[in-house]
Structure 1
Amino acid sequence: MKSTRLCSLFALLFTSGASAESYVIGVENLPFVPHYSIDQQGRYQGFARELFDQFASHSGVQLSYKPLPANRLLAALLEGEVDFKYPDSGNWAQTQKADKDLHYSQAVVAYVDGVLVAPPRQGQALEQLKRLGMVSGWTPWGYQQGIEAGQIQLTYSDDLRKMIRQTLKKDTDGAYFNVVVATHYLDNIRARPGALVFDPKLPHTRGNFHLSTLRHPAVLQRFDRFLLERQAEVAALKDKYRVEANLDSQYLGVEQWKVDFLKRQKAREALQ
Protein backbone atom coordinates (compact mmCIF):
# COMPACT_ATOMS: atom_id res chain seq x y z
CA MET A 1 0.00 0.00 0.00
CA LYS A 2 2.84 2.39 0.93
CA SER A 3 4.56 1.62 -2.38
CA THR A 4 1.34 2.32 -4.26
CA ARG A 5 0.92 5.69 -2.56
CA LEU A 6 4.52 6.65 -3.41
CA CYS A 7 4.01 5.70 -7.04
CA SER A 8 0.84 7.75 -7.14
CA LEU A 9 2.66 10.74 -5.65
CA PHE A 10 5.49 10.50 -8.21
CA ALA A 11 2.95 10.19 -11.00
CA LEU A 12 1.13 13.27 -9.74
CA LEU A 13 4.35 15.29 -9.56
CA PHE A 14 5.43 14.17 -13.00
CA THR A 15 2.04 14.96 -14.52
CA SER A 16 1.98 18.39 -12.83
CA GLY A 17 5.43 19.26 -14.16
CA ALA A 18 4.64 17.97 -17.63
CA SER A 19 1.45 20.01 -17.85
CA ALA A 20 3.02 23.33 -16.74
CA GLU A 21 2.67 26.11 -19.30
CA SER A 22 5.92 26.70 -21.12
CA TYR A 23 6.74 29.64 -23.39
CA VAL A 24 9.77 31.00 -25.22
CA ILE A 25 10.59 34.70 -25.23
CA GLY A 26 12.67 35.84 -28.17
CA VAL A 27 15.23 38.38 -26.98
CA GLU A 28 17.94 40.47 -28.60
CA ASN A 29 21.37 38.89 -28.72
CA LEU A 30 23.29 42.04 -27.91
CA PRO A 31 24.64 43.98 -24.91
CA PHE A 32 22.04 46.53 -23.84
CA VAL A 33 23.02 46.94 -20.20
CA PRO A 34 21.39 47.59 -17.78
CA HIS A 35 18.23 46.47 -19.60
CA TYR A 36 19.60 43.11 -20.78
CA SER A 37 22.61 41.28 -22.16
CA ILE A 38 23.88 37.80 -22.98
CA ASP A 39 26.72 36.42 -20.87
CA GLN A 40 29.60 34.25 -22.12
CA GLN A 41 27.55 31.11 -21.50
CA GLY A 42 24.73 32.42 -23.68
CA ARG A 43 22.43 33.19 -20.74
CA TYR A 44 20.02 36.11 -20.82
CA GLN A 45 20.50 38.48 -17.88
CA GLY A 46 19.77 41.97 -16.59
CA PHE A 47 16.62 43.85 -15.64
CA ALA A 48 14.39 42.16 -18.21
CA ARG A 49 15.49 38.65 -17.21
CA GLU A 50 14.80 39.28 -13.53
CA LEU A 51 11.43 40.86 -14.30
CA PHE A 52 10.25 37.97 -16.48
CA ASP A 53 11.55 35.43 -13.97
CA GLN A 54 9.51 37.14 -11.27
CA PHE A 55 6.43 36.98 -13.50
CA ALA A 56 7.02 33.29 -14.18
CA SER A 57 7.32 32.55 -10.47
CA HIS A 58 4.23 34.63 -9.70
CA SER A 59 2.11 33.06 -12.45
CA GLY A 60 3.32 29.47 -12.37
CA VAL A 61 4.49 29.41 -15.99
CA GLN A 62 7.82 28.27 -17.35
CA LEU A 63 9.75 30.78 -19.42
CA SER A 64 12.87 30.24 -21.50
CA TYR A 65 14.80 32.83 -23.47
CA LYS A 66 16.03 32.54 -27.04
CA PRO A 67 18.66 35.14 -27.99
CA LEU A 68 18.50 36.10 -31.66
CA PRO A 69 19.99 38.87 -33.82
CA ALA A 70 17.78 41.95 -33.47
CA ASN A 71 16.94 41.94 -37.18
CA ARG A 72 15.80 38.30 -36.96
CA LEU A 73 13.60 38.62 -33.90
CA LEU A 74 10.36 39.86 -35.48
CA ALA A 75 10.44 37.15 -38.16
CA ALA A 76 10.95 34.53 -35.45
CA LEU A 77 7.81 35.77 -33.69
CA LEU A 78 5.71 35.88 -36.86
CA GLU A 79 6.90 32.43 -37.95
CA GLY A 80 6.13 30.88 -34.55
CA GLU A 81 9.75 30.19 -33.65
CA VAL A 82 9.21 32.06 -30.38
CA ASP A 83 6.03 32.81 -28.42
CA PHE A 84 6.89 36.36 -27.37
CA LYS A 85 9.22 39.15 -28.44
CA TYR A 86 11.01 41.58 -26.16
CA PRO A 87 11.47 44.43 -26.51
CA ASP A 88 8.79 45.55 -28.94
CA SER A 89 6.52 48.48 -29.71
CA GLY A 90 3.55 49.08 -31.95
CA ASN A 91 5.54 51.93 -33.51
CA TRP A 92 8.33 49.67 -34.72
CA ALA A 93 8.54 47.87 -38.08
CA GLN A 94 5.00 48.81 -39.05
CA THR A 95 5.44 47.67 -42.65
CA GLN A 96 6.49 44.14 -41.64
CA LYS A 97 3.65 43.99 -39.11
CA ALA A 98 0.92 45.06 -41.50
CA ASP A 99 -2.09 42.72 -41.39
CA LYS A 100 -0.57 40.83 -38.43
CA ASP A 101 -2.72 40.57 -35.31
CA LEU A 102 0.02 41.35 -32.83
CA HIS A 103 -0.76 42.00 -29.19
CA TYR A 104 1.27 44.19 -26.85
CA SER A 105 1.58 44.32 -23.10
CA GLN A 106 1.31 47.45 -21.05
CA ALA A 107 4.50 49.49 -20.88
CA VAL A 108 7.31 47.52 -19.24
CA VAL A 109 9.90 50.28 -19.01
CA ALA A 110 10.26 53.82 -20.39
CA TYR A 111 13.21 54.96 -22.47
CA VAL A 112 14.69 57.99 -24.18
CA ASP A 113 16.72 57.80 -27.39
CA GLY A 114 18.79 60.85 -28.18
CA VAL A 115 22.19 62.27 -29.07
CA LEU A 116 25.21 62.30 -26.79
CA VAL A 117 27.87 64.90 -27.51
CA ALA A 118 31.15 66.10 -26.06
CA PRO A 119 30.40 68.57 -23.21
CA PRO A 120 31.62 71.66 -25.17
CA ARG A 121 29.06 70.87 -27.89
CA GLN A 122 26.10 70.57 -25.53
CA GLY A 123 23.41 73.16 -26.29
CA GLN A 124 24.59 73.92 -29.83
CA ALA A 125 21.99 74.35 -32.55
CA LEU A 126 20.88 71.37 -34.61
CA GLU A 127 22.52 72.97 -37.64
CA GLN A 128 25.91 72.38 -36.02
CA LEU A 129 25.35 68.62 -36.02
CA LYS A 130 26.87 67.54 -39.33
CA ARG A 131 27.99 63.94 -38.62
CA LEU A 132 25.81 61.62 -36.58
CA GLY A 133 27.04 58.28 -35.28
CA MET A 134 24.55 55.39 -35.46
CA VAL A 135 24.47 51.70 -34.60
CA SER A 136 23.34 49.65 -37.59
CA GLY A 137 19.63 48.90 -37.45
CA TRP A 138 18.69 52.02 -35.49
CA THR A 139 16.45 54.78 -36.85
CA PRO A 140 17.37 58.38 -35.95
CA TRP A 141 13.86 59.70 -35.25
CA GLY A 142 13.72 63.48 -35.51
CA TYR A 143 16.67 63.73 -37.89
CA GLN A 144 15.17 62.43 -41.12
CA GLN A 145 14.60 65.87 -42.62
CA GLY A 146 18.21 66.92 -42.13
CA ILE A 147 19.45 63.58 -43.46
CA GLU A 148 17.29 63.74 -46.57
CA ALA A 149 18.42 67.31 -47.20
CA GLY A 150 22.06 66.24 -47.00
CA GLN A 151 22.68 68.40 -43.92
CA ILE A 152 23.45 65.42 -41.67
CA GLN A 153 25.73 62.57 -42.66
CA LEU A 154 25.20 59.22 -40.93
CA THR A 155 28.15 57.08 -39.89
CA TYR A 156 27.16 53.52 -38.98
CA SER A 157 28.93 51.23 -36.51
CA ASP A 158 28.38 47.58 -35.67
CA ASP A 159 27.83 48.23 -31.97
CA LEU A 160 27.70 50.83 -29.21
CA ARG A 161 31.38 50.45 -28.32
CA LYS A 162 32.55 51.36 -31.82
CA MET A 163 30.06 54.22 -32.15
CA ILE A 164 31.13 55.77 -28.84
CA ARG A 165 34.77 55.41 -29.82
CA GLN A 166 34.13 57.29 -33.07
CA THR A 167 32.46 60.16 -31.23
CA LEU A 168 35.18 60.33 -28.58
CA LYS A 169 37.73 60.56 -31.42
CA LYS A 170 35.61 63.38 -32.94
CA ASP A 171 35.02 61.40 -36.12
CA THR A 172 31.34 62.23 -35.53
CA ASP A 173 29.69 65.20 -33.82
CA GLY A 174 27.34 63.07 -31.75
CA ALA A 175 26.15 59.53 -31.07
CA TYR A 176 22.47 58.54 -31.27
CA PHE A 177 21.42 55.81 -28.85
CA ASN A 178 19.41 54.89 -25.79
CA VAL A 179 20.55 57.50 -23.28
CA VAL A 180 20.51 55.26 -20.19
CA VAL A 181 22.41 52.47 -21.95
CA ALA A 182 25.01 54.80 -23.49
CA THR A 183 25.54 56.59 -20.17
CA HIS A 184 25.89 53.26 -18.32
CA TYR A 185 28.49 52.17 -20.86
CA LEU A 186 30.50 55.36 -20.46
CA ASP A 187 30.27 55.36 -16.66
CA ASN A 188 30.80 51.67 -15.89
CA ILE A 189 32.38 49.89 -18.85
CA ARG A 190 34.41 52.48 -20.76
CA ALA A 191 35.21 54.25 -17.46
CA ARG A 192 34.84 57.65 -19.09
CA PRO A 193 32.01 59.24 -17.08
CA GLY A 194 30.96 62.58 -18.50
CA ALA A 195 33.08 62.19 -21.65
CA LEU A 196 29.83 62.41 -23.64
CA VAL A 197 26.59 63.90 -22.35
CA PHE A 198 22.99 63.81 -23.49
CA ASP A 199 21.86 67.01 -25.22
CA PRO A 200 18.16 67.52 -24.42
CA LYS A 201 17.94 70.47 -26.81
CA LEU A 202 18.49 68.19 -29.80
CA PRO A 203 15.62 66.04 -31.12
CA HIS A 204 15.03 62.95 -28.98
CA THR A 205 12.38 60.27 -28.66
CA ARG A 206 10.51 59.03 -25.61
CA GLY A 207 8.81 55.66 -25.66
CA ASN A 208 8.23 52.39 -23.85
CA PHE A 209 9.34 48.80 -24.28
CA HIS A 210 6.54 46.24 -24.46
CA LEU A 211 6.26 42.46 -24.56
CA SER A 212 4.49 41.28 -27.74
CA THR A 213 2.88 38.07 -28.98
CA LEU A 214 0.93 36.76 -31.92
CA ARG A 215 -0.69 33.73 -30.33
CA HIS A 216 -0.88 34.21 -26.57
CA PRO A 217 -2.86 37.36 -25.70
CA ALA A 218 -4.28 35.72 -22.56
CA VAL A 219 -0.77 35.35 -21.14
CA LEU A 220 -0.12 39.03 -21.88
CA GLN A 221 -3.21 39.90 -19.85
CA ARG A 222 -1.77 37.94 -16.94
CA PHE A 223 1.53 39.76 -17.39
CA ASP A 224 -0.32 43.11 -17.31
CA ARG A 225 -2.01 42.11 -14.06
CA PHE A 226 1.39 41.17 -12.65
CA LEU A 227 2.77 44.63 -13.55
CA LEU A 228 -0.22 46.25 -11.84
CA GLU A 229 -0.40 44.06 -8.76
CA ARG A 230 3.36 44.05 -8.16
CA GLN A 231 4.02 47.72 -8.85
CA ALA A 232 6.22 48.11 -5.78
CA GLU A 233 8.40 45.12 -6.69
CA VAL A 234 8.69 46.26 -10.31
CA ALA A 235 9.63 49.78 -9.20
CA ALA A 236 12.28 48.36 -6.86
CA LEU A 237 13.69 46.31 -9.71
CA LYS A 238 13.86 49.40 -11.94
CA ASP A 239 15.70 51.24 -9.19
CA LYS A 240 18.11 48.33 -8.71
CA TYR A 241 19.12 48.35 -12.39
CA ARG A 242 18.59 52.10 -12.92
CA VAL A 243 16.80 51.47 -16.21
CA GLU A 244 14.75 54.63 -15.84
CA ALA A 245 17.39 56.71 -14.09
CA ASN A 246 16.42 60.40 -14.20
CA LEU A 247 14.26 59.95 -17.31
CA ASP A 248 11.87 62.67 -16.18
CA SER A 249 14.37 65.09 -14.70
CA GLN A 250 16.95 67.62 -15.79
CA TYR A 251 19.65 65.11 -14.87
CA LEU A 252 18.95 62.62 -17.66
CA GLY A 253 22.25 61.27 -18.93
CA VAL A 254 24.29 62.78 -16.09
CA GLU A 255 26.55 60.43 -14.13
CA GLN A 256 25.08 59.58 -10.73
CA TRP A 257 27.79 61.11 -8.53
CA LYS A 258 27.20 64.46 -10.23
CA VAL A 259 23.42 64.11 -9.85
CA ASP A 260 23.86 63.50 -6.12
CA PHE A 261 26.20 66.49 -5.82
CA LEU A 262 23.84 68.82 -7.70
CA LYS A 263 20.86 67.72 -5.61
CA ARG A 264 22.78 68.34 -2.37
CA GLN A 265 23.86 71.74 -3.67
CA LYS A 266 20.28 72.67 -4.57
CA ALA A 267 19.06 71.53 -1.14
CA ARG A 268 21.66 73.73 0.60
CA GLU A 269 20.69 76.72 -1.52
CA ALA A 270 17.01 76.22 -0.62
CA LEU A 271 17.88 76.45 3.09
CA GLN A 272 19.78 79.72 2.75
Structure 2
Amino acid sequence: MKPSHVCSLFALVCSTAVSAESYVIGVEKLAFAPHYSIDAQGQYQGFARELFDLFAQTSGVELSYKVLPVEQLLPALLDGQVDLKYPDSETWAQAQKAGKTLSYSQGVVEYVDGMLVAPQRQGQPIEQIKRLAMVNGWTPWGYQERIAAGQIELAYSDDLRQMIRQALRKDTDGAYFNVVVATHYLDSIRARPGALVFDAKLPHTRGSFHLSTVKHSALLKRFDRFLSERQGEVAALKNKYRVEANLDSEYMGLEQWKVDFLERQKAKAISE
Protein backbone atom coordinates (compact mmCIF):
# COMPACT_ATOMS: atom_id res chain seq x y z
CA MET A 1 0.00 0.00 0.00
CA LYS A 2 1.29 3.43 -0.91
CA PRO A 3 2.18 5.83 1.92
CA SER A 4 -0.51 8.28 0.82
CA HIS A 5 -3.09 5.50 1.04
CA VAL A 6 -1.86 4.55 4.50
CA CYS A 7 -2.19 8.16 5.65
CA SER A 8 -5.67 8.44 4.19
CA LEU A 9 -6.75 5.22 5.88
CA PHE A 10 -5.26 6.37 9.20
CA ALA A 11 -7.07 9.72 8.91
CA LEU A 12 -10.34 7.92 8.15
CA VAL A 13 -9.95 5.63 11.17
CA CYS A 14 -9.13 8.58 13.44
CA SER A 15 -12.05 10.58 12.09
CA THR A 16 -14.44 7.66 12.66
CA ALA A 17 -13.15 7.16 16.21
CA VAL A 18 -13.59 10.82 17.06
CA SER A 19 -17.07 10.85 15.53
CA ALA A 20 -18.09 7.77 17.53
CA GLU A 21 -17.18 9.54 20.76
CA SER A 22 -18.59 12.97 19.99
CA TYR A 23 -22.14 13.79 21.03
CA VAL A 24 -24.41 16.82 20.93
CA ILE A 25 -26.64 17.57 23.91
CA GLY A 26 -29.71 19.63 23.11
CA VAL A 27 -30.31 22.13 25.91
CA GLU A 28 -32.94 24.75 26.66
CA LYS A 29 -32.55 28.38 25.67
CA LEU A 30 -33.82 29.45 29.03
CA ALA A 31 -32.78 31.49 32.05
CA PHE A 32 -33.04 28.72 34.62
CA ALA A 33 -30.19 29.47 37.01
CA PRO A 34 -28.71 27.93 39.06
CA HIS A 35 -29.50 24.78 37.05
CA TYR A 36 -28.52 26.32 33.70
CA SER A 37 -28.68 29.50 31.66
CA ILE A 38 -27.28 31.07 28.50
CA ASP A 39 -24.70 33.84 28.79
CA ALA A 40 -24.37 36.95 26.61
CA GLN A 41 -22.22 35.04 24.13
CA GLY A 42 -24.81 32.28 23.77
CA GLN A 43 -22.81 29.79 25.83
CA TYR A 44 -24.48 27.21 28.04
CA GLN A 45 -23.50 27.58 31.70
CA GLY A 46 -24.44 26.64 35.26
CA PHE A 47 -24.67 23.41 37.23
CA ALA A 48 -25.65 21.24 34.26
CA ARG A 49 -22.78 22.54 32.10
CA GLU A 50 -20.18 21.81 34.78
CA LEU A 51 -21.66 18.37 35.42
CA PHE A 52 -21.62 17.33 31.76
CA ASP A 53 -18.16 18.79 31.24
CA LEU A 54 -16.91 16.72 34.19
CA PHE A 55 -18.50 13.61 32.70
CA ALA A 56 -16.80 14.29 29.37
CA GLN A 57 -13.40 14.86 30.99
CA THR A 58 -13.55 11.69 33.07
CA SER A 59 -15.15 9.44 30.44
CA GLY A 60 -13.15 10.24 27.32
CA VAL A 61 -16.09 11.55 25.30
CA GLU A 62 -16.50 14.89 23.59
CA LEU A 63 -19.69 16.79 24.31
CA SER A 64 -21.02 19.92 22.65
CA TYR A 65 -24.20 21.85 23.41
CA LYS A 66 -26.90 22.94 21.01
CA VAL A 67 -29.04 25.68 22.52
CA LEU A 68 -32.65 25.58 21.30
CA PRO A 69 -35.96 27.17 22.27
CA VAL A 70 -37.78 24.83 24.64
CA GLU A 71 -40.52 23.95 22.15
CA GLN A 72 -37.94 22.91 19.52
CA LEU A 73 -35.83 20.72 21.78
CA LEU A 74 -37.84 17.48 21.85
CA PRO A 75 -38.51 17.53 18.08
CA ALA A 76 -34.77 18.00 17.54
CA LEU A 77 -34.07 14.88 19.61
CA LEU A 78 -36.74 12.81 17.88
CA ASP A 79 -35.53 13.95 14.43
CA GLY A 80 -31.90 13.15 15.22
CA GLN A 81 -30.66 16.74 15.16
CA VAL A 82 -29.19 16.23 18.64
CA ASP A 83 -27.99 13.04 20.32
CA LEU A 84 -29.28 13.75 23.82
CA LYS A 85 -31.74 16.08 25.54
CA TYR A 86 -31.51 17.78 28.92
CA PRO A 87 -33.54 18.09 30.97
CA ASP A 88 -36.14 15.42 30.32
CA SER A 89 -38.42 12.99 32.14
CA GLU A 90 -40.49 9.96 31.20
CA THR A 91 -43.59 11.83 32.36
CA TRP A 92 -43.06 14.85 30.09
CA ALA A 93 -44.65 15.32 26.63
CA GLN A 94 -45.96 11.77 26.47
CA ALA A 95 -48.20 12.49 23.48
CA GLN A 96 -45.24 13.77 21.44
CA LYS A 97 -43.18 10.74 22.42
CA ALA A 98 -45.87 8.21 21.50
CA GLY A 99 -44.43 5.50 19.23
CA LYS A 100 -40.85 6.54 20.01
CA THR A 101 -38.45 4.59 22.21
CA LEU A 102 -36.47 6.87 24.48
CA SER A 103 -33.92 5.92 27.10
CA TYR A 104 -33.38 7.94 30.26
CA SER A 105 -30.52 8.29 32.68
CA GLN A 106 -31.04 7.98 36.38
CA GLY A 107 -32.11 11.17 38.10
CA VAL A 108 -29.49 13.91 37.76
CA VAL A 109 -30.97 16.41 40.22
CA GLU A 110 -34.15 16.60 42.26
CA TYR A 111 -36.58 19.49 41.91
CA VAL A 112 -39.81 20.89 43.30
CA ASP A 113 -42.34 22.93 41.34
CA GLY A 114 -44.82 24.76 43.50
CA MET A 115 -46.42 27.93 44.75
CA LEU A 116 -44.48 30.92 46.02
CA VAL A 117 -46.48 33.41 48.05
CA ALA A 118 -45.89 36.49 50.18
CA PRO A 119 -44.83 35.42 53.70
CA GLN A 120 -48.07 36.70 55.25
CA ARG A 121 -50.07 34.44 52.92
CA GLN A 122 -48.13 31.29 53.76
CA GLY A 123 -50.35 28.55 55.15
CA GLN A 124 -53.59 29.88 53.68
CA PRO A 125 -55.84 27.27 52.03
CA ILE A 126 -55.98 26.78 48.28
CA GLU A 127 -59.44 28.39 48.28
CA GLN A 128 -57.70 31.72 48.91
CA ILE A 129 -55.79 31.44 45.61
CA LYS A 130 -57.87 33.31 43.05
CA ARG A 131 -55.22 34.53 40.59
CA LEU A 132 -52.03 32.62 39.81
CA ALA A 133 -48.93 33.91 37.99
CA MET A 134 -47.48 31.49 35.44
CA VAL A 135 -44.75 31.44 32.79
CA ASN A 136 -46.01 30.49 29.33
CA GLY A 137 -45.61 26.75 28.71
CA TRP A 138 -45.75 25.68 32.36
CA THR A 139 -48.42 23.36 33.76
CA PRO A 140 -49.65 24.10 37.29
CA TRP A 141 -50.00 20.51 38.49
CA GLY A 142 -52.55 20.20 41.28
CA TYR A 143 -54.46 23.30 40.28
CA GLN A 144 -56.04 22.19 37.00
CA GLU A 145 -59.45 21.30 38.42
CA ARG A 146 -59.90 24.66 40.09
CA ILE A 147 -58.66 26.42 36.96
CA ALA A 148 -61.10 24.47 34.77
CA ALA A 149 -63.91 25.35 37.18
CA GLY A 150 -63.09 29.05 36.92
CA GLN A 151 -62.03 29.24 40.58
CA ILE A 152 -58.44 30.23 39.70
CA GLU A 153 -57.54 32.69 36.95
CA LEU A 154 -54.12 32.37 35.31
CA ALA A 155 -51.96 35.41 34.62
CA TYR A 156 -49.34 34.41 32.03
CA SER A 157 -45.89 35.94 31.65
CA ASP A 158 -43.18 35.52 29.04
CA ASP A 159 -40.48 34.75 31.59
CA LEU A 160 -39.58 34.37 35.25
CA ARG A 161 -38.79 38.07 35.68
CA GLN A 162 -42.26 39.19 34.61
CA MET A 163 -43.94 36.49 36.66
CA ILE A 164 -42.10 37.42 39.86
CA ARG A 165 -42.89 41.09 39.30
CA GLN A 166 -46.59 40.27 39.13
CA ALA A 167 -46.45 38.36 42.40
CA LEU A 168 -44.40 41.03 44.19
CA ARG A 169 -46.82 43.75 43.08
CA LYS A 170 -49.65 41.54 44.43
CA ASP A 171 -51.31 41.46 41.03
CA THR A 172 -51.63 37.74 41.77
CA ASP A 173 -51.95 35.64 44.91
CA GLY A 174 -48.81 33.69 44.13
CA ALA A 175 -46.50 32.36 41.43
CA TYR A 176 -46.05 28.76 40.29
CA PHE A 177 -42.55 27.78 39.18
CA ASN A 178 -39.47 25.74 40.00
CA VAL A 179 -38.94 26.77 43.60
CA VAL A 180 -35.13 26.74 43.66
CA VAL A 181 -34.93 28.76 40.43
CA ALA A 182 -37.48 31.33 41.58
CA THR A 183 -35.79 31.63 44.98
CA HIS A 184 -32.38 32.03 43.35
CA TYR A 185 -33.78 34.84 41.20
CA LEU A 186 -35.23 36.64 44.22
CA ASP A 187 -32.06 36.15 46.25
CA SER A 188 -29.29 36.77 43.73
CA ILE A 189 -30.82 38.98 41.04
CA ARG A 190 -33.67 40.94 42.63
CA ALA A 191 -31.91 41.00 46.03
CA ARG A 192 -35.24 40.32 47.73
CA PRO A 193 -34.61 37.15 49.78
CA GLY A 194 -37.76 35.97 51.48
CA ALA A 195 -40.04 38.34 49.56
CA LEU A 196 -41.82 35.23 48.29
CA VAL A 197 -41.63 31.86 50.03
CA PHE A 198 -42.56 28.32 49.08
CA ASP A 199 -45.84 27.13 50.58
CA ALA A 200 -45.50 23.37 51.07
CA LYS A 201 -49.13 23.10 52.17
CA LEU A 202 -50.35 24.01 48.69
CA PRO A 203 -50.19 21.53 45.79
CA HIS A 204 -46.68 21.00 44.45
CA THR A 205 -44.76 18.49 42.37
CA ARG A 206 -41.51 16.68 43.12
CA GLY A 207 -39.42 15.03 40.44
CA SER A 208 -35.99 14.79 38.92
CA PHE A 209 -34.29 15.91 35.74
CA HIS A 210 -32.89 13.20 33.47
CA LEU A 211 -30.71 13.00 30.37
CA SER A 212 -32.54 11.31 27.49
CA THR A 213 -31.67 9.82 24.12
CA VAL A 214 -33.17 7.85 21.25
CA LYS A 215 -30.04 6.13 19.92
CA HIS A 216 -27.33 6.24 22.58
CA SER A 217 -28.54 4.15 25.52
CA ALA A 218 -25.03 2.76 26.05
CA LEU A 219 -23.76 6.28 26.67
CA LEU A 220 -26.47 6.81 29.27
CA LYS A 221 -25.28 3.69 31.10
CA ARG A 222 -21.80 5.21 31.19
CA PHE A 223 -23.30 8.43 32.48
CA ASP A 224 -25.15 6.53 35.20
CA ARG A 225 -21.89 4.89 36.27
CA PHE A 226 -20.28 8.31 36.36
CA LEU A 227 -23.02 9.64 38.67
CA SER A 228 -22.50 6.64 40.95
CA GLU A 229 -18.72 6.51 40.93
CA ARG A 230 -18.26 10.28 41.26
CA GLN A 231 -20.89 10.90 43.91
CA GLY A 232 -18.60 13.14 45.93
CA GLU A 233 -17.79 15.43 43.00
CA VAL A 234 -21.42 15.51 41.87
CA ALA A 235 -22.53 16.40 45.41
CA ALA A 236 -19.91 19.17 45.53
CA LEU A 237 -21.31 20.68 42.32
CA LYS A 238 -24.86 20.48 43.68
CA ASN A 239 -23.70 22.23 46.84
CA LYS A 240 -21.80 24.87 44.84
CA TYR A 241 -24.88 25.80 42.82
CA ARG A 242 -27.40 24.98 45.57
CA VAL A 243 -29.66 23.20 43.10
CA GLU A 244 -31.10 20.99 45.84
CA ALA A 245 -30.78 23.44 48.73
CA ASN A 246 -33.40 23.01 51.48
CA LEU A 247 -35.71 20.96 49.26
CA ASP A 248 -37.77 20.04 52.33
CA SER A 249 -37.90 23.56 53.73
CA GLU A 250 -40.05 26.62 53.20
CA TYR A 251 -36.73 28.41 52.53
CA MET A 252 -35.90 26.21 49.59
CA GLY A 253 -32.87 27.48 47.69
CA LEU A 254 -31.79 30.14 50.16
CA GLU A 255 -28.31 30.26 51.65
CA GLN A 256 -28.18 29.19 55.28
CA TRP A 257 -27.38 32.64 56.69
CA LYS A 258 -30.50 34.01 55.02
CA VAL A 259 -32.53 31.14 56.45
CA ASP A 260 -31.23 32.00 59.93
CA PHE A 261 -32.05 35.69 59.40
CA LEU A 262 -35.61 34.96 58.29
CA GLU A 263 -36.14 32.62 61.22
CA ARG A 264 -35.01 35.37 63.59
CA GLN A 265 -37.39 37.82 61.90
CA LYS A 266 -40.25 35.35 62.23
CA ALA A 267 -39.49 34.73 65.91
CA LYS A 268 -39.33 38.50 66.53
CA ALA A 269 -42.70 39.05 64.85
CA ILE A 270 -44.30 36.32 66.98
CA SER A 271 -42.91 37.76 70.22
CA GLU A 272 -44.13 41.31 69.54
Tell me the TM-score normalised to structure 1 length: 0.89
Deviation for aligned residue 1:194 = 1.1
Partner of 1:223: 223
Whether the 8 Å contact between 1:198 and 1:254 is mirrored in structure 2 is no
Q: 1:100 to 1:130 in 2, by over 3 A?
A: same
State the distance in 1 between where 2:48 and 2:15 align: 25
Deviation for aligned residue 1:259 = 2.2
Partner of 2:17: 19
Letter in 2 for 1:208: S
Whether the 8 Å contact between 1:193 and 1:255 is mirrored in structure 2 is no
Q: Alignment partner of 1:180: what SS?
A: helix
For the pair 1:141 / 2:141, whether they are aligned, the reply is yes
Q: Deviations over 1:188-212 (max 9, x none)?
A: 0011111111111110000000000
Deviation for aligned residue 1:14 = 9.5
Letter in 2 for 1:35: H
Q: 1:201 to 1:135 in 2, by over 3 A?
A: same
Partner of 1:151: 151
Partner of 1:78: 78
State the distance in 2 between where 1:189 and 1:262 align: 18
For the pair 1:166 / 2:166, whether they are aligned, the reply is yes
Q: Alignment partner of 2:66: what SS?
A: strand
Whether the 8 Å contact between 2:102 and 2:213 is mirrored in structure 1 is yes
Partner of 2:131: 131
Q: Deviations over 1:27-79 (max 9, x none)?
A: 00011000000101110000000000000111111100001001110000000
State the distance in 1 between where 2:249 and 2:227 align: 24
Q: Alignment partner of 1:19: what SS?
A: helix
Partner of 1:268: none
Q: CA RMSD in A?
A: 2.3
Whether the 8 Å contact between 1:131 and 1:153 is mirrored in structure 2 is yes
Partner of 1:199: 199
State the distance in 1 between where 2:144 and 2:42 align: 36
State the distance in 2 between where 1:158 and 1:262 align: 30
Q: Deviations over 1:86-129 (max 9, x none)?
A: 00000100111111100000000000000111111111110000
Gaps of 5+ in 1: 265-272
Partner of 1:99: 99
Q: Alignment partner of 1:42: what SS?
A: coil
Deviation for aligned residue 1:254 = 4.7
State the distance in 2 between where 1:185 and 1:46 align: 14
Tell me the TM-score normalised to structure 2 length: 0.89
Deviation for aligned residue 1:258 = 3.0
State the distance in 2 between where 1:132 and 1:253 align: 21
Q: Deviations over 1:121-149 (max 9, x none)?
A: 11111000000000001000010111111
State the distance in 1 between where 2:263 and 2:166 align: 32
Q: Alignment partner of 2:222: what SS?
A: helix
Partner of 2:37: 37
